[in-house]
Structure 1
Amino acid sequence: MEYDLSGSKHVSAHLVWRPDNQGFRLLFQDAQEVRRIKTRMLTDNKDHLTLPYHEMEKLRQFRRDMIKAIPLVIISIPPFANYLVFILMYLYPRQLLIRHFWTPQQLVEFQGVYHTQRAHHHWAIVKGLERTATSVQDSRLKSHLMELCSKVRSGVHPVVSDVHAVRTLFSGPPLGVRRMYADQMRQLCPLLFLTPRLPAFLISRRLNRHALELMQLDRAIVRLGLHQLNDVELREACYARGLNTDRLSPGQCREWLTQWLQFSTHLKESETSLYLHCMVLLTVNYPKHPHH
Protein backbone atom coordinates (compact mmCIF):
# COMPACT_ATOMS: atom_id res chain seq x y z
CA MET A 1 0.00 0.00 0.00
CA GLU A 2 0.98 3.63 -0.43
CA TYR A 3 0.22 5.73 2.60
CA ASP A 4 -0.46 9.37 3.32
CA LEU A 5 1.62 10.37 6.33
CA SER A 6 -0.50 13.36 7.33
CA GLY A 7 -2.72 13.47 10.39
CA SER A 8 -0.62 10.90 12.21
CA LYS A 9 -1.38 9.65 15.70
CA HIS A 10 1.15 7.52 17.53
CA VAL A 11 0.10 4.12 18.71
CA SER A 12 -0.61 3.39 22.37
CA ALA A 13 2.58 2.79 24.34
CA HIS A 14 1.78 -0.84 25.24
CA LEU A 15 2.11 -1.86 21.58
CA VAL A 16 5.69 -2.43 20.52
CA TRP A 17 6.71 -3.52 17.03
CA ARG A 18 8.22 -6.91 16.34
CA PRO A 19 11.82 -7.48 17.43
CA ASP A 20 14.19 -6.36 14.69
CA ASN A 21 15.50 -9.85 13.88
CA GLN A 22 12.00 -11.27 13.46
CA GLY A 23 10.83 -8.37 11.27
CA PHE A 24 13.99 -8.52 9.16
CA ARG A 25 13.66 -12.30 8.83
CA LEU A 26 10.10 -11.94 7.49
CA LEU A 27 11.25 -9.19 5.12
CA PHE A 28 14.21 -11.26 3.92
CA GLN A 29 11.93 -14.26 3.26
CA ASP A 30 9.61 -12.09 1.18
CA ALA A 31 12.54 -10.58 -0.75
CA GLN A 32 13.87 -14.07 -1.55
CA GLU A 33 10.45 -15.21 -2.73
CA VAL A 34 10.04 -12.13 -4.95
CA ARG A 35 13.48 -12.75 -6.42
CA ARG A 36 12.56 -16.37 -7.21
CA ILE A 37 9.32 -15.28 -8.89
CA LYS A 38 11.07 -12.65 -11.01
CA THR A 39 13.89 -15.03 -11.95
CA ARG A 40 11.37 -17.64 -13.07
CA MET A 41 9.49 -15.00 -15.07
CA LEU A 42 12.70 -14.12 -16.92
CA THR A 43 13.77 -17.74 -17.42
CA ASP A 44 10.38 -18.90 -18.69
CA ASN A 45 9.64 -15.62 -20.49
CA LYS A 46 6.36 -15.32 -18.57
CA ASP A 47 4.18 -12.24 -18.37
CA HIS A 48 3.14 -11.33 -14.81
CA LEU A 49 -0.53 -11.57 -15.86
CA THR A 50 -0.10 -15.32 -16.29
CA LEU A 51 1.31 -15.82 -12.78
CA PRO A 52 -0.72 -17.66 -10.13
CA TYR A 53 -2.70 -15.42 -7.76
CA HIS A 54 -0.41 -15.82 -4.75
CA GLU A 55 2.66 -14.80 -6.77
CA MET A 56 0.90 -11.80 -8.32
CA GLU A 57 -0.29 -10.66 -4.90
CA LYS A 58 3.19 -11.17 -3.39
CA LEU A 59 4.76 -8.91 -6.07
CA ARG A 60 2.08 -6.25 -5.56
CA GLN A 61 2.36 -6.19 -1.78
CA PHE A 62 6.18 -6.28 -1.74
CA ARG A 63 6.39 -3.37 -4.18
CA ARG A 64 4.07 -1.31 -1.98
CA ASP A 65 6.04 -2.21 1.13
CA MET A 66 9.22 -1.00 -0.52
CA ILE A 67 7.59 2.27 -1.61
CA LYS A 68 6.42 2.83 1.95
CA ALA A 69 9.94 2.17 3.30
CA ILE A 70 11.53 4.94 1.17
CA PRO A 71 10.92 7.85 3.65
CA LEU A 72 12.54 5.91 6.50
CA VAL A 73 15.57 5.10 4.33
CA ILE A 74 15.93 8.79 3.39
CA ILE A 75 15.68 9.88 7.05
CA SER A 76 18.41 7.34 7.94
CA ILE A 77 20.97 8.72 5.45
CA PRO A 78 22.48 11.63 7.49
CA PRO A 79 25.26 10.69 9.96
CA PHE A 80 24.09 10.04 13.53
CA ALA A 81 20.45 9.87 12.38
CA ASN A 82 19.99 6.36 13.82
CA TYR A 83 18.80 7.60 17.23
CA LEU A 84 16.21 9.86 15.63
CA VAL A 85 15.03 7.01 13.41
CA PHE A 86 14.49 4.67 16.38
CA ILE A 87 12.52 7.34 18.25
CA LEU A 88 10.36 8.01 15.20
CA MET A 89 9.79 4.28 14.63
CA TYR A 90 8.64 3.92 18.24
CA LEU A 91 6.30 6.93 18.08
CA TYR A 92 4.95 6.32 14.57
CA PRO A 93 5.08 2.59 13.78
CA ARG A 94 1.96 2.80 11.60
CA GLN A 95 3.33 5.58 9.40
CA LEU A 96 6.99 4.58 9.18
CA LEU A 97 7.22 0.80 9.58
CA ILE A 98 6.15 -1.76 7.00
CA ARG A 99 3.88 -4.64 8.06
CA HIS A 100 6.78 -7.08 8.62
CA PHE A 101 7.60 -5.10 11.78
CA TRP A 102 4.05 -4.86 13.13
CA THR A 103 2.66 -7.18 15.77
CA PRO A 104 -0.55 -9.08 14.94
CA GLN A 105 -2.45 -6.67 17.25
CA GLN A 106 -0.98 -3.69 15.44
CA LEU A 107 -1.95 -5.12 12.06
CA VAL A 108 -5.60 -5.28 13.14
CA GLU A 109 -5.50 -1.84 14.80
CA PHE A 110 -3.75 -0.11 11.91
CA GLN A 111 -5.99 -1.63 9.25
CA GLY A 112 -8.94 -0.29 11.26
CA VAL A 113 -7.38 3.19 11.29
CA TYR A 114 -6.76 3.12 7.53
CA HIS A 115 -10.27 1.91 6.81
CA THR A 116 -11.73 4.72 8.94
CA GLN A 117 -9.69 7.21 6.90
CA ARG A 118 -11.04 5.93 3.58
CA ALA A 119 -14.58 5.64 4.98
CA HIS A 120 -14.58 9.43 5.54
CA HIS A 121 -14.78 9.77 1.74
CA HIS A 122 -17.58 7.27 1.08
CA TRP A 123 -20.51 9.64 1.18
CA ALA A 124 -18.68 12.37 -0.73
CA ILE A 125 -18.19 9.81 -3.53
CA VAL A 126 -21.91 8.89 -3.50
CA LYS A 127 -22.84 12.61 -3.55
CA GLY A 128 -20.51 13.09 -6.53
CA LEU A 129 -22.40 10.36 -8.40
CA GLU A 130 -25.74 11.99 -7.57
CA ARG A 131 -24.54 15.37 -8.84
CA THR A 132 -23.27 13.75 -12.03
CA ALA A 133 -26.58 11.91 -12.52
CA THR A 134 -28.42 15.22 -12.91
CA SER A 135 -26.44 15.95 -16.09
CA VAL A 136 -26.91 12.50 -17.71
CA GLN A 137 -28.93 12.88 -20.93
CA ASP A 138 -30.17 9.28 -21.23
CA SER A 139 -33.25 9.17 -18.98
CA ARG A 140 -32.98 5.40 -18.41
CA LEU A 141 -29.33 5.57 -17.31
CA LYS A 142 -30.04 8.67 -15.22
CA SER A 143 -32.88 6.84 -13.43
CA HIS A 144 -30.73 3.73 -12.81
CA LEU A 145 -27.86 5.79 -11.35
CA MET A 146 -30.16 7.83 -9.08
CA GLU A 147 -31.86 4.62 -7.93
CA LEU A 148 -28.50 2.99 -7.19
CA CYS A 149 -27.32 6.00 -5.13
CA SER A 150 -30.67 6.09 -3.31
CA LYS A 151 -30.38 2.39 -2.41
CA VAL A 152 -26.89 2.89 -0.99
CA ARG A 153 -27.97 5.98 0.96
CA SER A 154 -30.91 4.12 2.50
CA GLY A 155 -28.66 1.29 3.75
CA VAL A 156 -29.47 -1.29 1.07
CA HIS A 157 -26.65 -3.47 -0.27
CA PRO A 158 -26.96 -3.38 -4.10
CA VAL A 159 -26.86 -6.50 -6.24
CA VAL A 160 -24.50 -6.92 -9.20
CA SER A 161 -27.25 -6.21 -11.75
CA ASP A 162 -27.85 -2.77 -10.14
CA VAL A 163 -24.24 -1.87 -10.85
CA HIS A 164 -24.08 -3.37 -14.34
CA ALA A 165 -27.16 -1.34 -15.33
CA VAL A 166 -25.08 1.89 -15.22
CA ARG A 167 -21.70 0.58 -16.42
CA THR A 168 -21.70 2.49 -19.73
CA LEU A 169 -21.56 5.80 -17.80
CA PHE A 170 -18.17 4.80 -16.36
CA SER A 171 -16.20 4.05 -19.52
CA GLY A 172 -16.50 7.47 -21.19
CA PRO A 173 -18.04 10.77 -20.15
CA PRO A 174 -19.16 11.68 -17.54
CA LEU A 175 -17.59 9.15 -15.16
CA GLY A 176 -14.71 7.51 -17.05
CA VAL A 177 -11.44 7.52 -15.12
CA ARG A 178 -10.02 10.19 -17.46
CA ARG A 179 -13.31 12.10 -17.84
CA MET A 180 -14.26 12.79 -14.22
CA TYR A 181 -13.81 16.12 -12.49
CA ALA A 182 -10.55 16.40 -10.57
CA ASP A 183 -12.41 16.61 -7.23
CA GLN A 184 -14.13 13.29 -7.93
CA MET A 185 -10.80 11.64 -8.73
CA ARG A 186 -9.25 13.01 -5.54
CA GLN A 187 -12.09 11.54 -3.46
CA LEU A 188 -11.31 8.10 -4.92
CA CYS A 189 -7.59 8.22 -4.00
CA PRO A 190 -8.02 7.26 -0.29
CA LEU A 191 -9.84 4.06 -1.32
CA LEU A 192 -6.47 2.82 -2.63
CA PHE A 193 -4.40 4.68 0.00
CA LEU A 194 -2.99 7.01 -2.67
CA THR A 195 -2.17 10.65 -2.11
CA PRO A 196 -4.63 13.10 -3.74
CA ARG A 197 -1.96 15.83 -3.75
CA LEU A 198 -0.91 15.42 -7.37
CA PRO A 199 -1.97 16.99 -10.71
CA ALA A 200 -5.23 15.56 -12.06
CA PHE A 201 -3.63 13.82 -15.06
CA LEU A 202 -1.24 11.91 -12.76
CA ILE A 203 -4.06 10.97 -10.39
CA SER A 204 -6.14 9.52 -13.24
CA ARG A 205 -3.18 7.47 -14.46
CA ARG A 206 -2.45 6.10 -10.99
CA LEU A 207 -6.11 5.29 -10.26
CA ASN A 208 -6.37 3.49 -13.60
CA ARG A 209 -3.17 1.51 -13.02
CA HIS A 210 -4.06 0.41 -9.51
CA ALA A 211 -7.63 -0.54 -10.49
CA LEU A 212 -6.35 -2.59 -13.45
CA GLU A 213 -3.93 -4.37 -11.13
CA LEU A 214 -6.77 -5.38 -8.79
CA MET A 215 -8.92 -6.45 -11.76
CA GLN A 216 -6.08 -8.70 -12.94
CA LEU A 217 -5.77 -10.15 -9.44
CA ASP A 218 -9.53 -10.83 -9.43
CA ARG A 219 -9.13 -12.88 -12.60
CA ALA A 220 -6.22 -14.75 -11.00
CA ILE A 221 -8.42 -15.62 -7.99
CA VAL A 222 -11.06 -17.03 -10.36
CA ARG A 223 -8.39 -19.13 -12.14
CA LEU A 224 -7.13 -20.41 -8.78
CA GLY A 225 -10.56 -20.97 -7.25
CA LEU A 226 -11.87 -18.85 -4.38
CA HIS A 227 -12.02 -21.93 -2.11
CA GLN A 228 -8.19 -22.12 -2.27
CA LEU A 229 -7.78 -18.91 -0.23
CA ASN A 230 -7.35 -19.38 3.50
CA ASP A 231 -9.16 -17.12 5.99
CA VAL A 232 -6.28 -14.63 6.29
CA GLU A 233 -5.87 -14.34 2.50
CA LEU A 234 -9.64 -13.97 2.17
CA ARG A 235 -9.72 -11.05 4.63
CA GLU A 236 -6.74 -9.38 2.96
CA ALA A 237 -8.37 -9.66 -0.48
CA CYS A 238 -11.64 -8.14 0.79
CA TYR A 239 -9.82 -5.35 2.64
CA ALA A 240 -7.79 -4.41 -0.46
CA ARG A 241 -11.08 -4.02 -2.38
CA GLY A 242 -12.60 -1.61 0.14
CA LEU A 243 -14.41 -3.85 2.61
CA ASN A 244 -14.06 -3.43 6.37
CA THR A 245 -13.48 -7.03 7.50
CA ASP A 246 -13.08 -6.21 11.19
CA ARG A 247 -16.36 -7.75 12.35
CA LEU A 248 -17.02 -10.15 9.49
CA SER A 249 -16.82 -13.93 9.67
CA PRO A 250 -14.81 -15.89 7.09
CA GLY A 251 -18.14 -17.03 5.61
CA GLN A 252 -19.30 -13.43 5.16
CA CYS A 253 -15.96 -12.49 3.55
CA ARG A 254 -16.28 -15.43 1.16
CA GLU A 255 -19.87 -14.48 0.29
CA TRP A 256 -18.90 -10.86 -0.39
CA LEU A 257 -15.84 -11.76 -2.47
CA THR A 258 -17.93 -14.21 -4.52
CA GLN A 259 -20.32 -11.38 -5.37
CA TRP A 260 -17.42 -9.02 -6.07
CA LEU A 261 -15.84 -11.44 -8.53
CA GLN A 262 -19.18 -11.86 -10.32
CA PHE A 263 -19.17 -8.09 -10.77
CA SER A 264 -15.50 -7.48 -11.60
CA THR A 265 -14.63 -10.33 -13.93
CA HIS A 266 -17.15 -9.06 -16.50
CA LEU A 267 -15.64 -5.57 -16.62
CA LYS A 268 -13.57 -4.27 -19.52
CA GLU A 269 -10.27 -2.46 -19.01
CA SER A 270 -12.04 0.79 -19.93
CA GLU A 271 -14.35 0.41 -16.89
CA THR A 272 -11.81 0.94 -14.11
CA SER A 273 -13.81 3.91 -12.83
CA LEU A 274 -16.81 1.65 -12.12
CA TYR A 275 -14.47 -0.76 -10.33
CA LEU A 276 -13.24 2.05 -8.07
CA HIS A 277 -16.70 3.43 -7.33
CA CYS A 278 -17.88 -0.06 -6.39
CA MET A 279 -15.24 -0.11 -3.65
CA VAL A 280 -17.87 2.14 -2.02
CA LEU A 281 -21.17 1.07 -3.60
CA LEU A 282 -20.68 -2.64 -2.88
CA THR A 283 -19.04 -2.30 0.55
CA VAL A 284 -20.71 0.36 2.72
CA ASN A 285 -23.87 -1.62 3.48
CA TYR A 286 -22.44 -5.12 3.70
CA PRO A 287 -23.73 -7.02 5.55
CA LYS A 288 -25.72 -4.19 7.14
CA HIS A 289 -23.89 -1.13 8.39
CA PRO A 290 -25.37 2.08 9.78
CA HIS A 291 -24.67 5.30 7.91
CA HIS A 292 -21.32 6.94 8.63
Structure 2
Amino acid sequence: FPGTVVMPGTGKSVYKLIDYVNTYKDKISERFPKTSAAYRVFKDGIRNFFQDVRIYSKVAGTVRAGEITKLSWKEIEVYNRTPREIKKIAPVLLISILPFANYVVFPIAFMFPKYGLSSHFWSQRQKEEFGTEHYKRQKKITNNVIDLVNHKASQMAYPKANGLAGIICIVRNGGTVPLSLLIELKDVFKQDLALHRLSNYHKGQLCKLYGLKLMSAQQQLVKYSILLRAMDESLSKHGIENISSEDAIEVCRMRGLNFMNVGDTYNNVLRDWIHLSSHTDEETCSLLLHSPMFFINGSH
Protein backbone atom coordinates (compact mmCIF):
# COMPACT_ATOMS: atom_id res chain seq x y z
CA PHE A 1 0.00 0.00 0.00
CA PRO A 2 1.84 3.12 -1.17
CA GLY A 3 0.86 5.85 1.28
CA THR A 4 -0.97 8.83 -0.10
CA VAL A 5 1.10 11.96 0.39
CA VAL A 6 -0.62 14.75 2.29
CA MET A 7 -0.49 17.95 0.26
CA PRO A 8 2.31 20.34 1.34
CA GLY A 9 1.04 23.13 3.55
CA THR A 10 -2.06 21.26 4.68
CA GLY A 11 -1.00 21.18 8.33
CA LYS A 12 -0.05 24.87 8.28
CA SER A 13 -3.37 25.74 6.66
CA VAL A 14 -5.30 23.88 9.35
CA TYR A 15 -3.44 25.74 12.10
CA LYS A 16 -4.17 29.05 10.38
CA LEU A 17 -7.80 28.08 10.07
CA ILE A 18 -8.05 27.19 13.75
CA ASP A 19 -6.40 30.51 14.62
CA TYR A 20 -8.91 32.26 12.38
CA VAL A 21 -11.81 30.57 14.15
CA ASN A 22 -10.51 31.48 17.60
CA THR A 23 -9.92 35.10 16.59
CA TYR A 24 -13.24 35.73 14.92
CA LYS A 25 -15.63 33.36 16.69
CA ASP A 26 -17.11 36.10 18.91
CA LYS A 27 -17.61 38.42 15.94
CA ILE A 28 -19.26 35.64 13.95
CA SER A 29 -21.68 34.82 16.79
CA GLU A 30 -22.44 38.50 17.43
CA ARG A 31 -22.90 39.64 13.83
CA PHE A 32 -24.52 36.49 12.46
CA PRO A 33 -26.55 34.91 15.29
CA LYS A 34 -28.72 33.03 12.80
CA THR A 35 -25.65 31.18 11.57
CA SER A 36 -24.54 30.02 15.03
CA ALA A 37 -25.52 26.43 14.22
CA ALA A 38 -23.43 26.58 11.04
CA TYR A 39 -20.61 28.06 13.10
CA ARG A 40 -20.66 25.10 15.48
CA VAL A 41 -20.60 22.69 12.53
CA PHE A 42 -17.65 24.66 11.15
CA LYS A 43 -15.70 24.66 14.42
CA ASP A 44 -16.35 20.95 15.09
CA GLY A 45 -15.43 20.19 11.49
CA ILE A 46 -12.03 21.82 11.89
CA ARG A 47 -11.33 19.83 15.05
CA ASN A 48 -12.45 16.49 13.59
CA PHE A 49 -10.66 17.05 10.29
CA PHE A 50 -7.40 17.86 12.03
CA GLN A 51 -7.77 14.79 14.26
CA ASP A 52 -8.25 12.53 11.22
CA VAL A 53 -5.22 14.03 9.44
CA ARG A 54 -3.07 13.24 12.47
CA ILE A 55 -4.40 9.65 12.63
CA TYR A 56 -3.83 9.23 8.90
CA SER A 57 -0.23 10.48 9.13
CA LYS A 58 0.45 7.96 11.90
CA VAL A 59 -1.30 5.03 10.23
CA ALA A 60 0.21 5.56 6.76
CA GLY A 61 3.65 4.54 8.03
CA THR A 62 2.27 1.31 9.51
CA VAL A 63 0.54 0.45 6.23
CA ARG A 64 3.68 1.16 4.19
CA ALA A 65 5.56 -1.20 6.49
CA GLY A 66 3.10 -3.97 5.58
CA GLU A 67 1.70 -4.17 9.11
CA ILE A 68 -1.92 -3.34 8.34
CA THR A 69 -3.19 -6.22 10.52
CA LYS A 70 -1.86 -4.35 13.57
CA LEU A 71 -4.31 -1.51 12.99
CA SER A 72 -7.79 -1.17 14.45
CA TRP A 73 -10.83 -1.06 12.17
CA LYS A 74 -11.22 2.66 12.93
CA GLU A 75 -7.63 3.44 11.95
CA ILE A 76 -8.11 1.58 8.66
CA GLU A 77 -11.37 3.44 8.03
CA VAL A 78 -9.67 6.81 8.61
CA TYR A 79 -6.73 5.74 6.43
CA ASN A 80 -9.09 4.90 3.58
CA ARG A 81 -11.29 8.00 3.88
CA THR A 82 -8.86 10.83 4.71
CA PRO A 83 -7.04 11.21 1.35
CA ARG A 84 -10.41 11.72 -0.32
CA GLU A 85 -11.39 14.28 2.32
CA ILE A 86 -8.07 16.13 1.99
CA LYS A 87 -8.36 16.26 -1.77
CA LYS A 88 -11.81 17.82 -1.48
CA ILE A 89 -10.99 20.50 1.07
CA ALA A 90 -7.31 21.18 0.25
CA PRO A 91 -8.04 24.00 -2.26
CA VAL A 92 -10.14 25.82 0.36
CA LEU A 93 -7.48 25.42 3.04
CA LEU A 94 -4.64 26.53 0.79
CA ILE A 95 -6.51 29.58 -0.51
CA SER A 96 -7.39 30.54 3.06
CA ILE A 97 -3.71 31.29 3.72
CA LEU A 98 -3.94 34.36 1.46
CA PRO A 99 -4.68 37.69 3.21
CA PHE A 100 -8.42 38.27 3.74
CA ALA A 101 -9.23 35.17 1.66
CA ASN A 102 -11.03 33.67 4.66
CA TYR A 103 -13.84 36.18 4.24
CA VAL A 104 -14.51 34.98 0.70
CA VAL A 105 -13.52 31.33 0.39
CA PHE A 106 -15.45 29.87 3.33
CA PRO A 107 -18.83 31.46 2.57
CA ILE A 108 -18.48 30.15 -0.99
CA ALA A 109 -17.45 26.70 0.26
CA PHE A 110 -20.47 26.56 2.57
CA MET A 111 -22.71 27.41 -0.38
CA PHE A 112 -21.43 24.27 -2.14
CA PRO A 113 -20.50 21.91 0.74
CA LYS A 114 -20.76 18.75 -1.36
CA TYR A 115 -17.93 19.93 -3.61
CA GLY A 116 -15.91 22.36 -1.48
CA LEU A 117 -15.93 20.82 1.99
CA SER A 118 -15.11 17.44 3.48
CA SER A 119 -17.78 15.48 5.34
CA HIS A 120 -16.46 16.89 8.63
CA PHE A 121 -18.21 20.17 7.80
CA TRP A 122 -21.54 18.73 6.68
CA SER A 123 -24.66 19.04 8.78
CA GLN A 124 -26.59 15.89 9.65
CA ARG A 125 -29.17 16.72 7.00
CA GLN A 126 -26.44 17.17 4.37
CA LYS A 127 -24.81 13.88 5.36
CA GLU A 128 -28.10 12.08 4.86
CA GLU A 129 -28.81 13.86 1.56
CA PHE A 130 -25.35 13.32 0.08
CA GLY A 131 -25.25 9.78 1.47
CA THR A 132 -28.48 8.91 -0.31
CA GLU A 133 -27.13 10.28 -3.59
CA HIS A 134 -23.90 8.31 -3.13
CA TYR A 135 -25.67 5.02 -2.47
CA LYS A 136 -27.94 5.49 -5.50
CA ARG A 137 -24.81 5.76 -7.64
CA GLN A 138 -23.31 2.70 -5.96
CA LYS A 139 -26.52 0.71 -6.46
CA LYS A 140 -26.55 1.57 -10.17
CA ILE A 141 -22.97 0.32 -10.50
CA THR A 142 -23.84 -2.82 -8.50
CA ASN A 143 -26.63 -3.58 -10.96
CA ASN A 144 -24.10 -3.20 -13.79
CA VAL A 145 -21.86 -5.71 -12.01
CA ILE A 146 -24.79 -8.14 -11.70
CA ASP A 147 -25.30 -7.95 -15.48
CA LEU A 148 -21.59 -8.56 -16.08
CA VAL A 149 -21.52 -11.59 -13.75
CA ASN A 150 -24.66 -12.94 -15.41
CA HIS A 151 -22.96 -12.64 -18.80
CA LYS A 152 -19.93 -14.54 -17.47
CA ALA A 153 -22.25 -17.22 -16.06
CA SER A 154 -23.75 -17.76 -19.53
CA GLN A 155 -20.25 -18.71 -20.74
CA MET A 156 -19.55 -21.21 -17.96
CA ALA A 157 -20.07 -24.95 -18.01
CA TYR A 158 -22.70 -26.74 -15.93
CA PRO A 159 -23.02 -27.01 -12.90
CA LYS A 160 -21.10 -23.82 -12.04
CA ALA A 161 -23.22 -21.75 -14.40
CA ASN A 162 -26.43 -23.19 -12.98
CA GLY A 163 -25.49 -22.40 -9.38
CA LEU A 164 -24.42 -18.85 -10.15
CA ALA A 165 -27.44 -18.19 -12.36
CA GLY A 166 -29.71 -19.41 -9.56
CA ILE A 167 -28.18 -16.95 -7.11
CA ILE A 168 -28.49 -14.08 -9.58
CA CYS A 169 -32.15 -15.02 -10.03
CA ILE A 170 -32.68 -14.80 -6.26
CA VAL A 171 -31.08 -11.34 -6.18
CA ARG A 172 -33.06 -10.02 -9.14
CA ASN A 173 -36.31 -11.23 -7.60
CA GLY A 174 -35.58 -9.21 -4.46
CA GLY A 175 -34.51 -12.13 -2.31
CA THR A 176 -31.52 -12.60 -0.04
CA VAL A 177 -28.89 -15.23 -0.73
CA PRO A 178 -27.98 -17.70 2.06
CA LEU A 179 -24.34 -17.38 3.12
CA SER A 180 -23.82 -21.11 2.67
CA LEU A 181 -24.55 -20.76 -1.07
CA LEU A 182 -22.14 -17.83 -1.39
CA ILE A 183 -19.34 -19.72 0.33
CA GLU A 184 -19.89 -22.62 -2.07
CA LEU A 185 -19.15 -20.20 -4.93
CA LYS A 186 -15.55 -19.64 -3.82
CA ASP A 187 -14.10 -21.84 -6.54
CA VAL A 188 -16.09 -20.00 -9.23
CA PHE A 189 -14.63 -16.66 -8.11
CA LYS A 190 -11.21 -18.26 -7.82
CA GLN A 191 -11.35 -19.51 -11.41
CA ASP A 192 -13.87 -18.21 -13.96
CA LEU A 193 -14.55 -14.97 -12.07
CA ALA A 194 -11.04 -14.39 -10.74
CA LEU A 195 -9.91 -10.79 -11.20
CA HIS A 196 -7.40 -11.66 -13.92
CA ARG A 197 -10.21 -13.36 -15.90
CA LEU A 198 -12.45 -10.28 -15.89
CA SER A 199 -12.64 -7.74 -18.70
CA ASN A 200 -11.14 -4.29 -18.17
CA TYR A 201 -14.65 -2.84 -18.17
CA HIS A 202 -15.75 -5.30 -15.46
CA LYS A 203 -12.76 -4.42 -13.27
CA GLY A 204 -13.41 -0.76 -13.96
CA GLN A 205 -16.97 -1.07 -12.65
CA LEU A 206 -15.67 -2.67 -9.45
CA CYS A 207 -13.18 0.19 -9.06
CA LYS A 208 -15.97 2.74 -9.47
CA LEU A 209 -18.05 0.89 -6.90
CA TYR A 210 -15.30 1.27 -4.30
CA GLY A 211 -14.04 4.69 -5.38
CA LEU A 212 -10.68 3.37 -6.62
CA LYS A 213 -8.50 4.68 -9.42
CA LEU A 214 -9.04 2.98 -12.78
CA MET A 215 -5.32 2.84 -13.56
CA SER A 216 -3.85 -0.57 -12.63
CA ALA A 217 -7.37 -1.68 -11.72
CA GLN A 218 -6.50 -5.24 -10.74
CA GLN A 219 -3.72 -4.13 -8.43
CA GLN A 220 -6.01 -1.52 -6.87
CA LEU A 221 -8.71 -4.12 -6.27
CA VAL A 222 -6.37 -6.69 -4.72
CA LYS A 223 -4.97 -4.08 -2.33
CA TYR A 224 -8.42 -2.89 -1.41
CA SER A 225 -9.56 -6.44 -0.66
CA ILE A 226 -6.58 -6.84 1.71
CA LEU A 227 -7.58 -3.62 3.44
CA LEU A 228 -11.20 -4.78 3.76
CA ARG A 229 -10.27 -8.19 5.16
CA ALA A 230 -7.95 -6.63 7.74
CA MET A 231 -10.72 -4.24 8.73
CA ASP A 232 -13.28 -7.06 8.85
CA GLU A 233 -11.07 -9.10 11.16
CA SER A 234 -10.73 -6.14 13.53
CA LEU A 235 -14.49 -5.45 13.40
CA SER A 236 -15.19 -9.10 14.21
CA LYS A 237 -13.14 -8.79 17.39
CA HIS A 238 -14.59 -5.39 18.30
CA GLY A 239 -18.22 -6.34 17.61
CA ILE A 240 -20.54 -4.64 15.13
CA GLU A 241 -22.96 -3.84 17.95
CA ASN A 242 -20.28 -1.72 19.62
CA ILE A 243 -19.80 0.82 16.82
CA SER A 244 -21.82 4.01 16.42
CA SER A 245 -24.45 4.50 13.73
CA GLU A 246 -22.23 7.08 12.00
CA ASP A 247 -19.28 4.68 11.93
CA ALA A 248 -21.51 1.83 10.70
CA ILE A 249 -22.65 4.02 7.80
CA GLU A 250 -19.06 4.67 6.72
CA VAL A 251 -18.18 0.97 7.10
CA CYS A 252 -21.12 0.10 4.83
CA ARG A 253 -20.17 2.80 2.33
CA MET A 254 -16.66 1.37 2.03
CA ARG A 255 -18.19 -1.97 1.06
CA GLY A 256 -20.83 -0.70 -1.35
CA LEU A 257 -23.58 -1.81 1.05
CA ASN A 258 -26.90 -0.10 1.67
CA PHE A 259 -26.31 2.21 4.64
CA MET A 260 -29.63 4.07 4.37
CA ASN A 261 -31.55 1.53 6.49
CA VAL A 262 -30.59 2.64 9.98
CA GLY A 263 -30.65 0.07 12.78
CA ASP A 264 -30.49 -3.69 12.89
CA THR A 265 -30.84 -4.06 9.11
CA TYR A 266 -27.37 -2.91 8.21
CA ASN A 267 -25.92 -4.47 11.34
CA ASN A 268 -27.13 -7.85 10.07
CA VAL A 269 -25.72 -7.15 6.61
CA LEU A 270 -22.35 -6.24 8.13
CA ARG A 271 -22.34 -9.42 10.23
CA ASP A 272 -23.02 -11.50 7.12
CA TRP A 273 -20.34 -9.61 5.16
CA ILE A 274 -17.75 -10.21 7.89
CA HIS A 275 -18.66 -13.91 8.05
CA LEU A 276 -18.23 -14.20 4.28
CA SER A 277 -14.99 -12.20 4.44
CA SER A 278 -13.55 -14.71 6.93
CA HIS A 279 -13.92 -17.42 4.26
CA THR A 280 -11.96 -15.49 1.60
CA ASP A 281 -8.28 -14.91 0.96
CA GLU A 282 -6.21 -13.22 -1.75
CA GLU A 283 -7.03 -16.01 -4.23
CA THR A 284 -10.77 -15.65 -3.66
CA CYS A 285 -10.82 -11.88 -3.14
CA SER A 286 -13.03 -11.53 -6.21
CA LEU A 287 -15.90 -13.11 -4.22
CA LEU A 288 -15.55 -10.47 -1.51
CA LEU A 289 -15.32 -7.62 -4.03
CA HIS A 290 -18.49 -8.83 -5.79
CA SER A 291 -20.40 -9.26 -2.52
CA PRO A 292 -22.41 -5.99 -2.73
CA MET A 293 -24.49 -7.65 -5.47
CA PHE A 294 -25.46 -10.44 -3.07
CA PHE A 295 -26.44 -8.02 -0.28
CA ILE A 296 -28.24 -5.48 -2.46
CA ASN A 297 -31.59 -6.60 -1.02
CA GLY A 298 -30.39 -6.70 2.58
CA SER A 299 -29.79 -9.71 4.79
CA HIS A 300 -31.70 -12.53 6.49
Q: Which TM-score band applies after superposition, normalised by the shorter structure?
A: 0.7 to 0.9
For structure 1, the 5+ residue unaligned runs are 1-13
Residue-by-residue CA offset, 1:107-143 (whole Å, 9 max, x unaligned):
1111111111111122221111111011113x11111
Candidates 167, 176, 179, aligned match of 1:157: 176
Q: Please state how far the C-alpha of 1:233 moved relative to its aligned partner.
A: 2.4
1:175 to 176, 184, 193: 193
Structure 2 equivalent of residue 285 of structure 1: 297
The sequence identity of aligned pairs, in percent, is 25
Match status 1:230 vs 2:244: yes
**Alpha-carbon contact 1:151-1:157 (below 8 Å) kept:** yes
Offset at residue 205 of structure 1 (A): 1.8
Question: Please, what TM-score do these two structures have when normalized by structure 2?
Answer: 0.75
Q: Point out which structure has higher relative CO (alpha carbons under 8 A, 6+ apart).
A: 1
One-letter code aligned to 1:143: N
What is the CA deviation profile of residues 220-277 of structure 1, one whole-angstrom value per residue up to 9, with x for unaligned ones? 111223333233323332232222222332x222222111111111101122221121
Residues 185-196 of structure 1: pairs in structure 2 closer than 5 A: 185-194=203-212
Separation in structure 2 between the aligned mates of residue 203 and residue 184 of structure 1, nearest angstrom: 10
2:76–2:227 CA contact under 8 A, matched in 1: no
SS at match of 1:208: helix
* Separation in 2, partners of 1:217, 1:51: 8
Larger Rg: 2
Structure 2 spans left out of the alignment, 5+ residues: 1-34
In the TM superposition, residue 30 of structure 1 has moved relative to its aligned partner by 2.5
CA deviation after TM superposition for structure 1 residue 79, in Å? 9.8
Distance 1:37 1:247, change over 3 A: closer
CA RMSD, 1 decimal: 3.3
Aligned to 1:260: 273
Name 2:164's counterpart in structure 1: 145
- Count residues with an aligned counterpart: 265
- Partner in structure 1 of residue 148 of structure 2: 128
Q: 1: distance between equivalents of 2:155 and 2:106?
A: 53
Alignment check: 8 A CA contact 2:258 2:266 kept: no
How far apart are 1:78 and its partner, in Å?
Answer: 9.5
**Post-superposition shift, 1:287?**
5.2
Structure with greater helix share of residues: 2
